[in-house]
Structure 1
Amino acid sequence: MTDPTRGILYPERLPHLQRLPAPDAAADLVGWFWVPEWDLPPGVASRQQVLAFPAANLVVEPSGVTLWGATTRVSERVLEGRGWAVGALLKPAALAVLSDSPADLVDSFATLDEPDLHAAVRGVMPGGAEAAVARMAAWVDARVGVRTGEARLAADMAELLMTDATILRVEDAAARLSVSPRTLQRLAHRTVGLPPATMIRRRRLQEAAQHVREDPDASLAEIAVSLGYADQAHLANDFRTVLGMTATEYRSER
């Protein structure tokens, strides 16, 4: 499974977080589940900034159920007091059932009226992460039902674009999946809401941030080359555009 700190800009600020694999029945619908729990003293806040994966998330919290679309920028949440959440990183087949238009959810969210799912997860949380994941996975599996051929292709697309470091261009992904670039672009729009090129850039930027964070001796030029950027300037531009800071500022701040 993908490194649990990838996409998290400041892992040292994390509350207790588990990233759990999807049960077999929902493995083609959910990339993984993430379960944070926190209990902070009065007056203490934990500021969480995340460069999220290019995918939607189904989230159950004490207050209800929400569907969060893919994001184009860094998201932030300030944790205070005591709380928990159970989230599922959705693959395209699941999102297509839960949303008629994934593109409309980009950088936004929708509140879902799903009392059965909410009650099932609340019944074992806090403290019951594995049981909550099992119940949530069963709900997603039942809700989606039979998977179509397009759903399977979209799942392969998302897996390839989010995890394969050798994919640097849309044409590379299209060739691997035996479809045209135009077909891939349309599929990504219908099932994720983002262009495939944006998904590739997000993966590379996540990897770049992790390298900058974990290897303070590596030069930014070396990191850029190792990840397939044309040069350090292109890496710097991605950092400024999405993170709102340069790679040098990110390294210095940490």
Structure 2
Amino acid sequence: MTGPRPVARDSRGILDPWLLQQRVSFVRHGVPTDLAGLVDFVWAVRWSLPPGGNHRQEVLPHPSLNVSVGTPDARTGRTEPEALLNGVFLDLVDRELAGTGWTVAAKSTVGGFGAFVEDVSTLRDRVVPLDMIAGLDASTLLAAMGPDSEDSAAAEPHRVAVLVDGLGEAVSRAAPDRVAQAREVAAVARLAETDREVRRLDQLAARAGIGGRSLQRSFARCAGVSPTWVIRRYRLLEAAEAVRDGARVSWTEVAGALGYADQAHLVRDFRTALGRTPEAYAREVRQGRT
């Protein structure tokens, strides 16, 4: 497993990473080989905010699930650490941080948690107890994390290791055919993410050498969303990143570069997912950096 690295270049989905980096410690950790193709990375967040200085973080979700352990959202009123499984969310999500807290989490590859969950589509737009993952027990994991110490920086490496070990044990107990299918879906989704020429299901199926209907079934079970949705979400993440870079851009050119048929389709999808147009988001970016 590789050591921690600050979140810098690839902060796709985080709508205001510059503000996040000012207020919290946010690092990513690589994963060991037994989790390769199933877990993208492990991430850890720590914060200590002044009274009344709450931080609300908006995120455009990746087509992934997250196992998260740590301090609850401030709006819940709960303070004891909790262990949750966060399904794929179709729309913008947010979280509010207050006081002092921590989270360690594992972000799945697209389809990766199909190795542990019978039907990932049942978790779409849901947050459920971590016990939904076969082979992981929330109470055992929380106990192994140790007490909710104020010195969360010192405890962070141990907590990350506990989560990684727990997921590794879950993989070792999972059915090999399910693990193989989950990794196959993740590999196909990687094509959707990296190849901008892929705009439709038939193109992705051809690149992967898999029939379209078979691909749809595999994605529904392992990823919880359709291949077409995955393609569009990655294009939206890239579009938001282009806006966030701060340059004034031609949206017609951006739409073409990201695989959209025209600017109108890009703007429509952007507004639906983020609740504002690219131009409105660009204004927020400029104001946030001044």
**Could you state the TM-score of these two structures normalised by the residue count of structure 2?**
0.81
State the alpha-carbon separation in 1 of the partners of residues 197 and 104 from structure 2. Answer: 31
Contact 2:115–2:181 (CA<8 Å) still a contact in 1?
A: no
State the alpha-carbon separation in 1 of the partners of residues 105 and 197 from structure 2. Answer: 28
In structure 1, the residue matched to 2:218 is 187
Q: Alpha-carbon deviations, 1:58-117, whole Å to 9, x = none?
A: 111142210010010010111111111111112366523543331121111111252222
Is the counterpart of residue 67 in structure 1 residue 85 in structure 2?
A: yes
Q: How does 1:1-254 map to 2 (within 5 A)?
A: 3-14=9-20, 15-62=24-71, 63-91=81-109, 95-113=113-131, 114-122=138-146, 126-127=152-153, 128-145=155-172, 147-148=176-177, 149-254=180-285
State the alpha-carbon separation in 1 of the partners of residues 107 and 264 from structure 2. Answer: 31
State the alpha-carbon separation in 2 of the partners of residues 193 and 12 from structure 1. Answer: 31
5+ residue gaps, structure 1: none
Contact 1:13–1:47 (CA<8 Å) still a contact in 2?
A: no
Cα distance change on mapping 1:93 and 1:218 into 2, 3 Å: closer
State the alpha-carbon separation in 1 of the partners of residues 110 and 256 from structure 2. Answer: 31
CA drift of 1:34 comes to 1.4
Partner secondary structure for residue 158 of structure 2: helix
Contact 2:112–2:185 (CA<8 Å) still a contact in 1?
A: no
5+ residue gaps, structure 2: 72-80, 132-137, 286-290
Percent identity over the alignment? 36
Q: How many residues align?
A: 254
**Could you state the TM-score of these two structures normalised by the residue count of structure 1?**
0.91
CA drift of 1:195 comes to 0.6
One-letter identity of the residue aligned with 1:101? D
One-letter identity of the residue aligned with 1:65? A
Contact 1:9–1:50 (CA<8 Å) still a contact in 2?
A: yes
State the alpha-carbon separation in 2 of the partners of residues 141 and 94 from structure 1. Answer: 13
CA drift of 1:154 comes to 1.9
State the alpha-carbon separation in 1 of the partners of residues 123 and 267 from structure 2. Answer: 28
State the alpha-carbon separation in 1 of the partners of residues 183 and 115 from structure 2. Answer: 14
Range 160-169 or range 80-89, more displaced: 160-169
